[in-house]
Amino acid sequence: MHSKPKDIEFGNASATDTQGTGWFIGFSDWCKSGSADLRHVHGDVLSAGPHVKWFNHPAGHPNGEVKPVSEGRSICILVGPPSEFRIEFSCADTFESKETSVHVLRDTGDFVIWGKGIFHRSFGIQPATILTLRWVSQLPD
């Protein structure tokens, strides 16, 4: 029996309190966001990457194809005009409904960030331009 993934956070970059700096991912304390602190990168953490993807998803793309389990942290940000882009998350690649978390990016700046060990799939309900960043963090021994 799997459970719903817990290491997921969603919000809007414009609405996130950055103390006037605009930095919503990084080393600063204002990037701390809860128990998982997914947007906070500790100063003593080594990181590999980042990987950056810019993609113009047409409506109907990519039709819910299951992606490999995440190895690090990933964030998808809607950077185009208002749209509708649904992303589903699960701890198992079967995406049982009671074990699946769903988030929809609608407004420019909407984001969802998730940690390692999570499967995801997405649905381009309307055309959407999505910026995805991925990195792997490791605490020093």
Domains located in the chain, CATH noted: 8-16+49-138 (2.60.120.10)
pLDDT for residue 28: 57
Question: Which stretches of the chain drop beneath a pLDDT of 70?
Answer: 1-3, 25-48, 139-141
CA-based end-to-end distance of the chain: 32
User: Are the CB atoms for 115 and 38 separated by under 8 Å?
Assistant: yes
The whole-number pLDDT of residue 136 equals: 85
Tell me the sheet residues that pair with 40: 26
Helix, strand, coil tally for the chain in percent (to 5) = 5, 40, 55
Q: Each residue of 55-75: pLDDT tens digit?
A: 999 998 877 889 989 988 899
Give me the pLDDT at residue 113, please. Answer: 92
DSSP bridge pairs for 102? 88
| Separation between Cα atoms, residue 135 and residue 120, nearest integer Å | 16
Question: Which residues are within 8 A (CB) of 82 and not within 5 positions of it... i.e. 6 or more apart?
Answer: 106, 107, 108
CA distance 32 to 29: 5
The CA–CA distances, whole Å, from 119 to 23, 54, 115 equal: 27, 20, 10
User: Distances in Å between the alpha carbon of 140 and those of 35, 36, 45, 114?
Assistant: 20, 18, 6, 21
Residue 132: per-residue pLDDT = 93
- Output the pLDDT for position 141: 44
